[in-house]
Amino acid sequence: MPANLSPGFLAARDRLNRSKTDEERLDALQEMLATIPKHKGTEKMQADIRRRIAKLKEKAEQQRRSGKGGAVGYHVPREGAAQVALVGVPNAGKSSLVAALTRATPEIAPYPMSTVRPQPGMMEFEDIQIQLVDLPPITRDYTEGWVYGLIRLADTVALCVDLENPHWQQETEEVIALLADHHAVLTGGPSRQVDWRVVERRTVAVGLKADLGQSRMPAFRAWTEDRFPSVAASTATGEGLSDVRALIFRHSGVVRVYTKKPGQAPDLSQPYTIREGATVLNVVEQIHKDFVSRLRYVRLWGSGRFDGQHAPQDHPVQDKDIVEIHLS
C-alpha cells in the first residue's frame, strides 16, 4: 500500500469503514477517489474504488426501478413553489413549527428523536404555497445518510434553534459542522453547487420557544447577525409565526410573476413562480415554450423602473412583476 496517502483520503476511508448505508458508502468512496494521490502506485486502488462506486450506483438504480430498497431511505416529492428543509438538534421544535405553519400532523413529543422519517407540509404565504419538510434531528451518532441527502436537495434550509436550551449555540454549531462534514454548507447567500460534491444551501435561522428563552434573544440576534437572516417565534403563543412565513418566502429563492392580456387588467389570482434571477425570456418560456419562437416583445410593470414599458429579454424579473406578452 502506498505510504503517501493524503489525510483527506484516510479520513474518507475511515468514514467508509463506519458507513451503515449504501448512500454513506457511495459518498465516502467518491471522496476517496477525489483525494487519492494519482500516481502509478495507486492505480490498482483507484480501479478498485471506481469498481465499487459503479457497483453501488448500479445497485441503487436497480432498486429505484424495482421500487425496492435495502437500507431505509426516503424521497420527498417536491410540491409548491419551493422546498425548505427544517434542521436542528433533538427537541428544537421543528415538528411543532411544521404543525403551526401547515396542515401536516407530525408526531410531537417531549422526548428526543420522535421524528424518524420526513414529514412534509404545505405552508401558505399570500398567494403561493411552500413545502416545509420536517426531518429527523442532526446528531453525530444517529443521523442516517438519507437525511443529509434530502437537505442537499432542498432549495433552502430553516435552521431551528431551541432558545429554551442554555447550550443552544454550541449544539447548533455542531449541527452546522456535521452538515459541512457531509458536504452541505449553510450560507446566508444563494444556494449553489460548489463542485461535484459540495453544495451551499441558503439558510434562515429560526429561534423557537421564544416565550421560554427571552433572556437568550440578544445572544441569538448577535450570533445570526451578518451570518443568517433570522427571526424568533413561539408555536405555543403564536408570537412571530407570521414573520417566520415571510422570512422563509423571502429566502426561498423564488419570485412571483403575474400575467396580463393586452387591454385587460392583470390576473393577480394565481402567479407563476420562477427561480430568483430568472429573466423575462425565462418567464415567457415557462408560460409556454412555443411562445419563445413567436415572441415580439414583452411589456413589464414593476422591477422598479418599468411601468408598461418594453422590457429586454435578458432583464431579471423581480417579485410581483407583471408581464404582458406580445406574439407574432
- pLDDT tens digits, 262-281: 989 999 988 999 999 999 99
* pLDDT score at 68: 53
* pLDDT score at 63: 67
* pLDDT score at 26: 83
CB burial readout 101-126, b (16+ within 10 A) else e: bbebebeeeeeeeebeebbbbebebe
* pLDDT score at 289: 86
Query: Quick check: helix, strand or coil at residue 231?
Result: strand
Q: Are 138 and 87 in contact (CB under 8 A)?
A: yes
**What is this structure's pTM?**
0.77
Q: What are phi and psi of 164, to 5 degrees?
A: -75, -25
The correct answer on CATH 3.30.420.40 for the domain covering 83-250 is: no
Query: Would you say residue 1 has pLDDT above 50?
Result: no
Domain ranges across the chain: 7-66, 83-250, 254-327
Query: Would you say residue 64 has pLDDT above 80?
Result: no
* pLDDT score at 66: 58
| CATH, range 254-327 | 3.10.20.30
- pLDDT tens digits, 164-212: 999 999 999 999 999 999 999 999 999 998 887 789 999 999 999 999 9
Query: Would you say residue 2 has pLDDT above 60?
Result: no
Binning the chain into helix, strand and coil, the percentages to the nearest 5 are: 35, 25, 40
Nine-digit cell string for 314 = 435578458
Query: Quick check: helix, strand or coil at residue 300?
Result: strand
Largest CA distance in the chain: 76
- pLDDT tens digits, 112-154: 555 678 999 999 999 999 999 999 999 988 888 889 989 998 9
Neighbours of 139 (CB within 10 A): 15
Looking at residue 153, what DSSP letter applies? H
Tell me what the mean pLDDT of segment 213-217 comes to: 95
Query: Quick check: helix, strand or coil at residue 178?
Result: helix
pLDDT, mean over the chain: 88
Neighbours of 273 (CB within 10 A): 20
